[in-house]
Structure 1
Amino acid sequence: MAKGGHKKLNEFDFENPKLYINRELSWISFNSRVLSEAEDASNPLFERLKFLSISASNLDEFFMVRVASLKDMINAEYSKLDIAGMTAKQQLDAVLRDLHRFVDHQYNIYNDMLIPLLGKEELYICDPKNLSDNDKDYLSRYFDEFVYPVLTPMAVDSSRPFPLIRNKTLNIGSLLKKKEGKDDVDFATVQVPDVLPRVIELPQEFEDETIRRVVLLEQLIMAYVDKLYLNYDVITSAPYRVERNADLSIDEDEAEDLLKEIEKQIKRRQWGQAIRLEVDKSIDKKLLKFISRELQVDDSEIFSVNGPLDLTFLMKVYKLEGFDELKEHSYKAPQAVPEFDKGEDIFEVISKGDILMHHPYETFENVVKFVENAAVDPNVLAIKQTLYRVSGNSPIIAALAKAADNGKQVTVLVELKARFDEENNIVWAKMLEKAGCHVIYGLVGLKTHCKITLIVRREEDGIKRYVHLATGNYNDSTAKQYTDVGLFTCAPAYGEDATAVFNMLSGYSEPLSWNKLSLAPLWLKDRIIDLIKREEGHALSGEPARIIAKMNSICHKEVIAELYRASCAGVKIDLIVRGICCLKAGIPEISENITVRSIVGNFLEHSRIFYFENGGSPEYYASSADWMPRNLERRVEIMFPVENDKLKAKLWHILDTELKDTEKAHVMNENGVYVKQSAVLPEGSKKINSQKIFGDEASKAVGELNTQNSRVFVPEMNPDNRF
């Protein structure tokens, strides 16, 4: 039994801010773990480029949402302290301080590690001014033919005010002086066009065809910027990039039409308050002063970098052809699911028993087929589904539209408030409505984040309900890159609860009792706290007590306080938290029974799986919800039990294997700092990569099935790079 005892429970203030880590600083720590993969020499070179790009993409969103939120709180004179006892101003100061260090680290990795290694592989990111005359001639022709016609330089003077610089666009600012006339210095800016490729590959040199060279679009424009201002001398030019507050502010109670209100707010996102200004460190001081004054950014919000702005361009480099040997090839996901790979009707397979899938190791295609088959099955009467984020060319959307066209009752909840997918979801919502689907736009004041599909089918013995519940979105693209679990079942208790969920979402009907599902914001938080308290009771009674919880983030103070209490009671608690973790592990007498680990690997760890030992009768749950205030109090979420012994064993294997990971796991120490396990592993120790193990196991299962069926399954992979 773990250390602890009931005598400690009344000695501590478990809500003391000193016991908690600030949410924003914890997120920066997470992104540092992503960045560490770019630093890790054991990763293939192009995978390191990918992780550096991902860290930059993550940072963009953090500025546009979280840093923007802090600034909004300061402007509104918001006085409430955060979970760690910090004011909004204290948080912003600490965040910007850490982010400046983080960005410096990004560019140290780029300049000191990755660029030299690319050179060894004979791939060079070139500055046009250092190229040969032949190359310059090629670039000059390329500029004149493809780039110049697209550019729109904008002058700033008494009759032309400083233009609106759109969010996340790359621009080039210049100080100009008329070739003839007065000595006044003018300013002009031009946007680097998004419609052109940012990475331009030069023709291979005739004398050495093995060398590959690329030029960045902004460097090309800089080299020929004088062609944009023929009557001026260009004194100096430099690229700059601005990020703006992109957090939508919607008063749902006052909005007459939520869809139209969100459409209006999306357009405003491009012109929100400037949050960060990125510039090249060599920028002329006068030019920087002019830009920063016009954008109204403070010195602390100016990030001067030693290299190309917006490192997400490295994903374009990653996709260059001819460098496959520098990428990761050990994964063979997604694989077929053995239960579905026998040629049987999908509804017949589910009727034989519950099926748990582990994505992306097992293919998401069965979820797509579940909806596609229902769309054309004459026995299917109704399809109901929640959609939070879907892919750009979603086969599920097409299947739902086909089902409506075939006369089935189709009800779809499309969450319009899914951040940065609002515009995409509006398009899908309108398309589904035109197809004849009944579309619900979520609930006022809440986001609908649960992942649930209900299919009502007429069979010989009456009406039967088939249900799919999941931890991840109905997105066939990200399902190849995010780890999630999904459950197929036709058990009546789940079907009744699924029906109740949709009745609640579409109207005002809520049953008096529920069979299996726990819902937020109704009572999911209380259910989680009760489960933690139950383990505490078992520990105090000397019975087996343990909690294993895998999720994306944990920052709910009430839940964390209960975990601290359970730890003091002697409950062994293992947390597998990919991202934000406001809990401090290893505090003497308080959280010394708690471990926290984060796995950052080739796939994004997205599943939410919970294990409660329950005195020797373990219970397993999966959920769409992290243990965060927004999930438990401001969203519609679902937690569902997994009760089949075979499926419980599958969940245990996932949790147990990740707790043994020594290659991609980072473990929090008593100081709240994460240490990568591979860096402290004794020499000669066996390295365990949980993601590789799951991929190999899925491949092996399919291989054994193929041997039995004498046929071959060919997997496909299409990674999504958003972390």
Structure 2
Amino acid sequence: MSHPARKRWNVNELTPLHPAAPASEGAEDANSFENEHFFNRELSWLAFNRRVLAEARNRDYPLLERLRFLSISGSNLDEFIMVRVAGLMGQAKRKIDELSLDGMTPGQQLEKINDELERIEREQDAVWDEFRTELAENGIEVIDGSTVDDMTCSWLETYFTENILPVLTPQAVDPAHPFPFVANLGLGLLFNLKRKSDGVSLVEMVLIPGNLPRFIRIPGRDTKYISIENLIRRHATLLFPGFKLRGDGLFRVIRDSDIEVEEESEDLVRYFRSAIQRRRRGDVVHLEIEEGFDEEAETLLREQLYLAQATVDEKSGLIGFAALERIVEEDRPDLKFEPYSPRYPERIAEHDGDAFSAIREKDIVIHHPYESFEVVVDFLRQAARDPDVVAIKQTLYRAGSQSPIIGALIEAAEAGKSVTAVVELKARFDEEQNIHWASELERSGVQVIYGFVDWKTHAKVSMVVRQEGTSFRTYCHFGTGNYHPVNAKVYTDLSYFTADPAMGRDAAKLFNFITGYVEPENLERIAVSPSGLRRTVYQLIDAEIANAAKGKPAAIWAKMNALADRKMIEKLYEASQAGVRINLVVRGICCLRPEVPGLSDNITVKSVIGRFLEHGRIYAFANGEMMPSKKSKVYIASADWMSRNLDRRVETMVPMTNKTVRDQVLEQVMLANLLDTERSWRLQADGSYERLEGGDNPFNLHRYFMENPSLSGRGGALKKNKDVPRLSLRRESAE
């Protein structure tokens, strides 16, 4: 199957091409590291999406789970284009020659991104072709509707007439009818028609409402789906009686969807309501049209959409791979993962479900999704119903559309407790949902705070103040992931509960910072960005460099979603050159170039892609002894090592001081990520990723955690059973 070339951005119109400019003398980032020592952020992200797409061909997974990876790769690309590509196009259009880490202008990056997008989309088309055959072999067929039996024909016509036709609004495209607005990710059909009565030609547009299913299941013993566009085409004569169809074509529009916050905004809620509407009408950055699109209709479409800086991609395969999620939902347990039910921590059960009693006894770490997110919900529900609880403070970045966390906060406020919720309006693509939750919370009496205008509040913190006797005790929850019950089933994250008074004092200072702009001073345990987290990490790295100079063991283990901050990467290069052994697990973007002689000999980078989305952030430092050890300094964090997390977001990094908690985070979670061979890719010095081979001792970290309970959540069972599964560095293929 041939695939037509993709139309390139007209870079010469956007910004002049020129060699990458060197850093100016005396610039803040001037140093001995060259642009070639860094990978490009955008290309690294595209490499990540390639790894996601590769899982669609991973025969270790059931068929519909592999199809899910294809769907995810499509959704990822849509967001990348509407945010990252749109941002670069905006810079290029305004002649902003801000250079990337590897020294490219926006225009140069767009050229390389375009080439890589074309390769990924061709790969998606090829994977989908394979899937259609394999799905059919397993009794799931996606038909085009051109040839069907009489019974199916009758059902399709009835379904179209009763369920689709009343919702569609054909719109003539001529001087008397202005070209209709096509929303972001909007899917539409153009029909080139000729009226039978007088031979007059007419072009009609049919925008497909986003609330209609993209794939429609045809009832019957055999599982068959038809796309909504093919269903509409099949019944075009019912939609346009009295017309002869001369041609048609399917298209999809992707618009600039980023929101820029203006400092002078007096009312953030009103501003974001307006900004969400503007986003829906953002500039077109990408137009997809199907191969064989009617030429006359295509010409009209190109004229009416403003495409001066947009790409136009002619596709011979499916348009909009994210829509395949509908087929993934098919009720075929034999083609999906075996259901997994997360464990509820035994520690809390031993205290008859009293979370406060369990936490008061000893710190506890919950490892999601292997351990239930319900423990977090129960913590807040108990706080809402406990008459001794006087105050609850909570950050909310993403909470989902059906949030029990919101319900608990409302219940607490209605019970007369002092409840403060920090709702982040700038959580991309969740702004509208968060505005809704803010309104619901305010109506119930919750004090809602929107944080900072310039910075996002990305920290995940709950703080409960409880009267116990004549004094007050503060219980805290610090997380690496959002308070989102759906994501918690598929994202691997850590929830840390503590009643440590120092942690409580630090949490109180953090909330005062967010609500009252009182910058935290003399923090006892946690590090907070943008004020001190970067500095704390530098100090920890410097300590490893000093230990290496003294001949002591020096090592850093770190797990994160992205590594893109130039200064942090330079610090890691410095540590590597000093002899510090650095093992990084970076799921997505990584701009650090590992294993380069004389630069990063001591740094290895791997990425884990599997059944669950690795999301937790862990930072561990040897502290003068071989890793892992009792002296190792271990932290969990809400922050990746990206400039936005370190300098433009409110984040937390929290030390694991309790022995059992530290052992779980370091010797179970972190070590398992380093040991994994079945779901891991190793980053090469040239920027390519190679899938690790299982070898003689294959190890799958997701399977390990599904089969083995945690340390800190086991309570008395841990004392009774000394045969706790332990991992050993001897199995680490990266060493």
Change in Cα spacing, 1:701 to 1:630, as seen in structure 2 (3 Å) is closer
SS in 1 for 2:166: helix
Residue 258 of structure 2 is aligned to residue 243 of structure 1: no
Match status 1:136 vs 2:153? yes
Q: How does 1:582-621 map to 2 (within 5 A)?
A: 582-616=591-625, 617-621=631-635
- Where 1:150 maps in the other structure, the secondary structure is coil
Q: Residues 96 and 300 of structure 1 are in contact (CA less than 8 Å); yes or no, is this contact kept in structure 2?
A: no
Hey, what's the Cα distance between the residues in 1 that align with 2:719 and 2:35? 59
Residue 409, structure 1, aligned to residue 427, structure 2: no
Query: What are the equivalent positions in structure 2 for 1:233-272 lying under 5 Å apart?
Result: 233-251=244-262, 253-272=263-282
For residue 634 of structure 1, what is the aligned residue in structure 2?
648
d(CA) in 2 for partners of 1:675, 1:298: 39
The superposition leaves residues 355-375 of structure 1 with CA deviations (integer Å, 9 ceiling, x where unpaired) of 011111111111111111111
Select 1:293's aligned residue among 292, 298, 303: 303
Task: Give the root-mean-square deviation of aligned CA atoms.
Answer: 2.0
SS at match of 2:158: helix
Secondary structure of the 2:709 match is helix
CA deviation profile, 1:137-183 (whole Å, cap 9, x unmatched) = 22112111111111001111111121100111211111222324365
Deviation, structure 1 residue 474: 0.9
Q: Identify the match of residue 470 of structure 1 among 459, 479, 492.
A: 479
Go from structure 1 to structure 2 and tell me whether the alpha carbon gap of 1:33 and 1:199 turns closer, same or farther (over 3 Å shift). Answer: same
For 2:671, the aligned partner's letter is D
Matched, 1:86 2:97: no
1:512-554, CA deviations, whole angstroms, 9 ceiling, x for partnerless residues? 3110111111111121122112211111211110001100000
Tell me which residue corresponds to 1:525: 534
Going from structure 1 to structure 2, the CA distance change for 1:300 and 1:376 (only over 3 Å counts) comes to: closer
1:310-329 residue pairs with structure 2 within 5 A?
Answer: 310-321=320-331, 323-329=332-338
Q: Is the 8 A contact 2:395 2:461 kept in 1?
A: yes
Instruction: Determine the C-alpha separation between the residues in 2 that align with 1:93 and 1:288.
Output: 25
1:69 pairs with 2:77: no
SS at match of 2:407: helix
What amino acid maps onto 1:284 in structure 2?
D
Aligned partner of 1:20 in structure 2 is: 38
Give 1:664 deviation, angstroms: 0.6
Find the aligned partners of 2:151 and 2:472 in 1 and give their Cα distance.
74
**One-letter amino acid of the counterpart of residue 349, structure 1:** A
Aligned to 2:12: none
1:307 alignment partner in structure 2: 317
Whichever residue aligns with residue 55 of structure 1, its letter is S
| Aligned-pair CA distance for 1:399 | 0.9
How many angstroms does 1:230 deviate by?
2.4
Q: Give the letter aligned to residue 574 of structure 1.
A: N
Residues 661 and 711, structure 2, Cα contact 8 Å, conserved in 1? no
Secondary structure of 1:37's counterpart equals helix
SS in 2 for 1:129: coil
SS of the counterpart of 1:385? Answer: strand
Quick check: 1:336 aligned with 2:344? yes
Correspondences of 1:664-683 after superposition (within 5 Å): 664-678=679-693, 681-682=694-695
Aligned to 2:207: 191
Letter matched to residue 87 of structure 2: S
Distance (Å, rounded) in 1 between the aligned partners of 2:501 and 2:671: 31
| 8 Å contact from structure 1 (residues 14, 565) kept in 2 | no
Asked whether the equivalents of residues 125 and 318 of structure 2 are also in contact (C-alpha less than 8 Å), the reply is: no
Distance 1:430 1:299 in 2: 38
Give the alignment of 1:153-302 within 5 angstroms. Answer: 153-181=170-198, 185-204=201-220, 209=221, 211-251=222-262, 253-297=263-307, 301-302=311-312
Hey, what does 1:721 align to over in structure 2?
A: none
In structure 1, distance between residues paired with 2:470 and 2:554: 43
Q: 1:512 to 1:138 in 2, by over 3 A?
A: closer
What residue identity is the alignment partner of 2:359? I
Alignment-derived partner of residue 138 in structure 2: 121
Contact 1:246 1:269 in 2 (8 A): yes
Report the Cα offset of residue 400 of structure 1: 0.6
State the partner residue of 1:7: none
Determine if contact 1:222/1:238 at 8 Å carries over to the other structure.
no
Shift of 1:461: 4.9
Mapped partners of 2:652, 2:718: distance in 1? 39
2:179 touches 2:304 (CA, 8 Å); kept in 1? yes
Letter of the structure 2 residue corresponding to residue 120 of structure 1 = E
Measured after TM superposition, the shift of residue 13 of structure 1 is: 5.3
Answering whether residue 578 of structure 2 is matched by residue 569 of structure 1, we say yes
User: Alignment partner for residue 390 of structure 1, among 377, 399, 412?
Assistant: 399
Which residue does the alignment assign to 1:107? 125
Distance 1:128 1:163 in 2: 28
Deviation at 1:132, TM superposition (A): 2.0
CA distance in 1 between partners of 2:700 and 2:115 (Å)? 34
1:300 CA drift (Å): 7.1
SS of residue matched to 1:341: helix
Instruction: Give the structure 1 partner of residue 26 of structure 2.
Output: none
Find 1:444's aligned residue among 453, 461, 472: 453
2-structure distance, mates of 1:379, 1:624: 30
CA contact (8 A) 1:623 1:639 kept: yes
CA distance in 1, matches of 2:410, 2:714: 36
**TM-superposed deviation, 1:312:** 1.7
- Residue by residue over 1:262-304, the C-alpha shift from the partner in whole angstroms, topping out at 9 and shown as x without a partner, is 0011011111111111222222333333223322336971222
Which of 690, 693, 697 is the aligned partner of 2:701? 690
> Offset of 1:453 from its aligned partner?
0.7
Q: Deviations over 1:93-123 (max 9, x none)?
A: 1111100110110010110x21111111121
> Matched residues in 1 for 2:156 and 2:712: separation?
52
Check 1:609–1:619 CA distance in 2 against 1; reply closer, same or farther (3 A cut): same
1:670 Cα shift?
2.1
1:226 Cα offset (Å)? 2.8
Given residue 242 of structure 1, which amino acid in structure 2 is its aligned partner?
A: V
TM-score normalised according to structure 2 size = 0.90
1:242–1:277: 8 Å Cα contact kept in structure 2? yes
Contact residue 292 and residue 298 of structure 1 kept, 8 A: no
Residue 510 of structure 1, CA deviation = 3.3
Partner of 1:369: 378
Match of 2:671 among 656, 665, 671: 656
Letter in 1 for 2:678: E
Change (3 A) 1:691 1:150: same
Q: What 5-or-longer segments of structure 2 have no aligned partner?
A: 1-29, 626-630, 721-735
Residue 227 (structure 1) shift: 2.3
Alignment check: 8 A CA contact 1:167 1:270 kept? yes
Distance 2:521 2:337 in 1: 52
The answer to whether the Cα contact below 8 Å between 1:554 and 1:627 also exists between their aligned partners in 2 is yes
How far, CA to CA, are the matches of 2:101 and 2:378 in structure 1? 44
1:34 aligns with 2:52: yes
User: Which whole-Å deviations, capped at 9, do the CAs of 1:451-496 have from their partners, x for residues lacking one?
Assistant: 1111010002511111111111111111111111111011110000
**TM-score, normalising length: structure 1:** 0.92
1:699–1:318 CA distance, 2 compared to 1 (3 A): farther
Q: State the structure with bigger RCO (CA 8 A, min sep 6), 1 or 2.
A: 1
The whole-number CA distance in structure 2 between the counterparts of 1:285 and 1:543 is 71
CA distance in 1: counterparts of 2:102 and 2:603, whole angstroms: 19
Cα distance in 2 between the residues matched to 1:344 and 1:308: 50
Is the partner of 2:452 in helix, strand or coil? Answer: coil
